[in-house]
Amino acid sequence: MQDSKRPVLKHILACVLFLGAVTAVLAGTEKTAKKATTTNLFVPASATKAAQAINRGALEAPLRFLSDDLLEGRGVASRGDQTARLYLASSLELLGFQPGAPGSSWQQPVEMVGIKSHAPKTWDFKAGNQAVELKWWDDYIVFSKVQEPTASIKNAELVFVGYGIQAPEYKWDDFKGMDLKGKVLVMMNNDPDWDPKLFEGNRRLFYGRWVYKYESAARQGAAAAIIIHTTPSAGYPWQVVQTSWSGEQFELPAGSEPRIQVAGWATEDSTRRLFQAAGKDLDKLIQQAKSRDFKPVPLGITTSLELTDDIDRVKTANVLGLMPGSDPKLKDEVVILTAHHDHFGIGAPDKTGDKIYNGAVDNAAGCATVLAIAKAVAALPERPKRSILIAFVAAEEQGLLGSEYLAKHPTFPPGKIAANINYDGANLLGRTRDVSYIGMGKSADLDQLVAKLAAQQGRILQGEPFPDRGYFYRSDQFNFAKIGVPALYLKSGTDFIGKPAGWGKEQAEEFEAHRYHQPSDQFNPNWTYDGMIEDTRLGFFATLSIANNPTLPTWNPGDEFEAARKKALGK
């Protein structure tokens, strides 16, 4: 079991055992069909043979092609982006999928607006007769939230609003009905994390992400929102705020949703200095905000600011392929598999002079995984009961925009989407004793499904490694969760067979430091595929089980996405 040859034998054995176990489960469910719960497996016996279609070639070929220098890093709206889309659509067509986008098209066009804001070198505030000046870059970073040539705040008052959260399920409302129209809201980052019963304790929920905070301020009709940066509450240092927010920012074209004019971040030190000028103690206010009884605190500080924006419009697309379900009723429902096809294109050269950001692991590997699952689905003698939609989504690296567009313009109504399974990255280092997924603990149905499938591969399910970092909200499945769809972001394990303890973690850290979002994330002919094959087969079985299960998976009661699901289901 520890050397490199034995696992192959064990793998064959596992498949045989798997077949036996599935047959037993299916036999059991026939008798107790009425009591069927989502924790049973609904994987047909024929799946074992179809899963053989997921082999090294099925994974390596698309991975090698998509990360080739000829694809030029698949930068948004580039020739490489178009080539990748053409390849993915053609591959789905070869496998027998149908065009999945409206108008019998393979591609769902996604238009995006790029905004590059120019901020003044200093931002001036008035506290009574005192003037306070914050320095751009060192003290604050701001950007426009309107797609206009200018974004402005005029003589607006600052109000401290604690976390800036309204969460009925936790009976939490930081605004308490106060009129915040036209104000500049100053907010703490993260969500309440000191009590396991409040906002799931240490786990960062959507309420703790900057995306939520700016949207929350917009719902109040505010003019601007400033998030106070601290390294523990953000999970990253100030320098990440500086580099991530100072370049061009892409968004979907503005609709009728409320928008603030200006969004920004300020360092804790500069916020403290600003508050002091108005005779307010930041630390005391933060303490007050850690209570349900907190009310917004007007700070007696006013400010004006004007940003000029360069606006740019570009087009890309999501590639969608459909395998219609075999059941006359359930075919109207769908399981959506996603992987983003974009990366960073051609950019600044690294030390070796390489400027092509190939994005092999991120995310040619995820596309290869989903394509291999599509191949196995196509190899089944009978199609799954529900439809399967393969979605290679665009512009993930620009802020999950392709999946946001798809979730806002879904090809099946949200209540008819059984689940989303997303892939970003893959394990190219060998087999693991464990499996993990981001977002585990939010849906008992999905947790049990993955645990059972892992057990059949002789593996164990591990919890999410860093729940406080909010990874669930930083990848494409999140946009589906937002419209209520239960979502799985499947990840490989870290406990590698034949390697010392801690090796997997070291490899992950090595990748993050030296290859993640760098030109060196490129194809390696020495990669091993055993682990990726096993992970992909697990995803294939999970897809089938969800597609064939008479019952839809659900979020856990009280989960942050439960209300959206109920709404989607008309409950």
* Smaller CB separation from Zn ion, 476 or 530: 476
For the CB of residue 475, give the shortest distance to Zn ion in the complex, in Å.
9
Give the residue from 380, 371, 427, 392 showing the smallest Cα distance to 59. Answer: 371
Nearest distance from residue 43's CB to Zn ion, in Å? 31
> Quick one: 322 or 395, whose CB is closer to Zn ion?
395
CB of residue 426 to Zn ion, shortest distance in Å: 13
Is 419 strand, coil or helix? strand
- How near is the Cβ of 405 to Zn ion at its closest, in Å? 18
Taking the least distance from each CB to Zn ion, the nearer of 224 and 395 is 395
The span from the CA of 225 to the CA of 142, in Å, is: 10
Report the nearest approach of Zn ion to the CB of residue 324 (Å): 32
Smallest distance, Zn ion to C-beta of residue 371, A: 18
- The distance in angstroms from the start CA to the end CA of the chain is 49
In contact, 430 and 6? CB cutoff 8 Å: no
Who contacts 16 (Cβ-Cβ below 8 Å, separation ≥6)? none
- Please give the DSSP secondary-structure letter assigned to residue 328: T
Helices 282-289 + 268-277 axis angle, to 10: 110
**Could you tell me the smallest distance in angstroms from the CB atom of residue 342 to Zn ion?**
9
Query: Toward Zn ion, which CB reaches closer, 244 or 287?
Result: 244
Q: By Cβ distance, which residue is nearest to Zn ion? A: 362
How many Å apart are CA 412 and CA 407, to the nearest integer? 10
* Whether the Cβ atoms of residue 530 and residue 8 lie closer than 8 Å to each other: yes
Number of separate helices (H) and strands (E) present in the chain: 16, 21
Minimum Å distance from CB 399 to Zn ion?
11
CB 75 within 8 A of CB 343: yes
Minimum CB distance to Zn ion smaller for 139 or for 362 = 362
Nearest to 560 by CA among 192, 38, 170: 170
Token readout for 274 is 């600003």
On whether the CB atoms of residues 314 and 76 are closer than 8 A, the answer is: yes
Q: Which residues make beta-bridge pairs with 18?
A: none
For residues 396 and 402, is the Cβ–Cβ distance under 8 A? yes
| Type and span of the H or E element at 566 | helix 562-568
The nearer residue to Zn ion, 32 or 244, going by C-beta atoms, is 244
Alpha-carbon distance 125 to 311, whole Å? 28
Task: Report the nearest approach of Zn ion to the CB of residue 54 (Å).
Answer: 24
Alpha helix segments (H runs only) across 380-515: 401-408, 444-456, 477-482, 503-514
Where do contacts with Zn ion occur on this chain (CB under 5 A)?
362
Name which of 362 and 445 has its Cβ closer to Zn ion.
362
Q: Is 44 strand, coil or helix? A: coil
As given in the structure block, the two tokens for residue 431 are: 């087999």
Q: Give least dist CB 397 to Zn ion, A.
A: 5
